[in-house]
Amino acid sequence: MNLLQLFASSHLMWLVRSATYASICPRTPLQAQLSDFSGRDAFPLNLGAAYKPTIGGGQQPLDWKWQGPHTCIGKYCVWSSETSSGDGLSIITTSANSMLVQNMTTSMGSTFTSPALRTVQIANKGVGMIAVEPIRRGERILAAEPVVLVHRSLIDELTDASQHDLLEMAMKHLPEAKRRQFMAQAGEFGGHRIKDIMFTNSFQINLGGHDGQHFGNFPVVSRFNHDCRPNVAFYIDGNLTHHTHAIRDIEPGEELTISYLDSFRARDVRQQRAHASWGFACTCSQCSLSKDEADISDARLYSIYKEENLLADLGNSQVTPTMIEHLIELYEQERLDFKIADVYTLAALNYNILGMAEMAQKYAQLSIEQGVMEHGPEAPDIEAMRLLLANPRGHWTYNRRV
């Protein structure tokens, strides 16, 4: 449930995160804990009336022409599309989901790559991306469409041989340039090459409904290396376009990174996930802290978990301005500026409930500015904060805490 839906509810109780504090990697291999699809960094696409994705940067929709099904095994079939400009997408999914995807691509715009980027070899990491000129906070870096989309349940329900047949058919129907892009990506686990690439480089995407979970592969995005405290935020919009923005200033020569995993987990958990899912030991600055520093960091992360849940209970009469500011301070100390929009939203709501309209507006504005980079400009939570910003005293939350 998004915040806009919550605002329409008569309840003041809201849990921002489940008690299990589950984690799902935004770039999770198909083999990694597929039963857990509800965590922080999965990407459900909100296709309700409140969310009408737009095409950024003045782009025009591409002329996607769909063909198929080319082959089917059970309920899973292969469809493909190619545009006159050479873009292409192959999907392996059910008939109902194929119609959803085909409708989404009618509004999918062309890709965008910032001229400030360069793809290079990075020591001990392989291919990565660096800035070749200054990139300022909020600048758009990439807009990319998927090349392959695969239904998540396929790997549970079909044999390896059947999976390979479908993946090979999907590759066969991609334009040559897109096929080369896909096959140039790294694999970590060996075995069937196409499946290995999907294991290593896919983002989880939820098209909606009970059967909408898919994996999407965006070859250009796979050039981003991982950092537990990255300098790039990303989201996938309702047209299946993957967007990345700088969340702080980036200087020439600096590597651009995203987080592959749940950066709110303790260091040991992050290390285990990185090794199990991608076969590397994370050496980012946060994972390279001394044991004493890492213990302090882990304690802050646990405090964030507890305090965020207290503030998420909008009926909690014990919440004070000091508690709100302390949670934000913890985020800043942990350098979680790539995932801070939601805590700004919590701050705005709680300040408004306390009758502190000016502070509510301050954090609503920050939530909007940050949320555009984390969730997209038309996401429901952004619209909810715009409403609060425009008229905090007329908002249903104003001065509700007694």
Residues in the chain, overall count = 402
Is residue 11 pLDDT above 80, yes or no?
no
Q: State pLDDT tens for residues 204-248.
A: 999 988 899 999 999 999 999 999 999 999 999 988 999 999 999
Helix 357-374 vs helix 341-353: angle between axes, to the nearest 10 degrees? 160
Is residue 38 pLDDT above 50, yes or no?
no
Q: State pLDDT tens for residues 62-109.
A: 577 899 999 999 999 999 998 877 789 999 999 999 999 998 877 666
Q: Which domains does the chain have, with CATH numbers?
A: 61-258 (2.170.270.10), 291-394 (1.25.40)
> What is the pLDDT averaged over residues 268-286?
85
- Can you tell me the distance from the alpha carbon of 286 to that of 266, in angstroms, rounded to the nearest whole number? 10
- 289: how many CB neighbours lie within 10 A of its CB? 15
All residues at 6 or more sequence positions from 193 whose CB lies less than 8 Å from its CB, including other chains: 183, 187
> What is the pLDDT averaged over residues 360-383?
95
Q: Which of 66-70, 163-167, 260-264 shows the lowest mean pLDDT across its residues?
A: 260-264
- Can you tell me the distance from the alpha carbon of 27 to that of 249, in angstroms, rounded to the nearest whole number? 24
- Can you tell me the distance from the alpha carbon of 267 to that of 291, in angstroms, rounded to the nearest whole number? 10
Q: Which pLDDT does position 370 carry in this prediction?
A: 96
Q: Which pLDDT does position 107 carry in this prediction?
A: 67
